[in-house]
Amino acid sequence: MNDYVRKWLSNIVANNQTNPRVTVSRSPQWHALRIKWLEEHKVCDACGITTKALLEVHHKVPVHIDPSKELDWGNLITLCESPSHNCHLIFGHLLNWKSFNKNVVQDTQVFYTKLCNRP
């Protein structure tokens, strides 16, 4: 990532740091499922970060939109909340915590491939 893009993303992330997660009632099974997911999916799907403390389980279809998908293994993806680039905010929420990305899987795959093949 060149310096211009890095600064641009850093400014966006810095100005949108607070994640105002929609408050929804969580299933009693959510915590255990989240732990199990991260044990099996230990890498950010967008950038490859493996720092456990930075990884977040993202719902492709938000729980507040469809609560029946909260525990759906197929509705989950691992994204990081790295201070330098925050893939959860960028790819999962399109730089706006109130939004979500319907193409999060495809977008993360394209970006990860580009990172792996960068010159």
Q: Is there a domain that residue 21 lies in? A: no
Question: In the prediction, which pLDDT does 53 show?
Answer: 96
Tell me the average confidence (pLDDT) per consecutive run of 10 residues in the chain, 119 residues long: 60 54 80 98 98 97 94 98 96 95 98 95
Q: Is residue 35 domain-resident?
A: yes
Which value, in Å, is the radius of gyration of the alpha carbons in the chain?
14
74 in a domain, yes or no?
Answer: yes
Q: Using CA atoms, how far apart are residues 4 and 24, in angstroms rounded to an integer?
A: 38
The verdict on residue 66 lying in a domain is: yes
For the chain, the domain total comes to: 1
CB atoms within 10 A of CB 87: 28
Residue 51 lies in a domain: yes
Residue 45 lies in a domain: yes
Structural domain contains residue 98: yes
Kind and range of the H or E run holding 30: helix 30-40
Q: Which domain holds residue 68?
A: 3-14+29-116
Specify the pLDDT at position 63. Answer: 94
Q: Is residue 24 in a domain? A: no
Give the model's pLDDT for residue 25.
83
Q: How many residues does the chain have?
A: 119
Give the pLDDT score at 39: 98
Q: Which two tokens stand for residue 88?
A: 């959860």
Backbone torsions φ then ψ of 67, nearest 5 degrees: -60, -25
Please state the pTM of the whole predicted model: 0.81
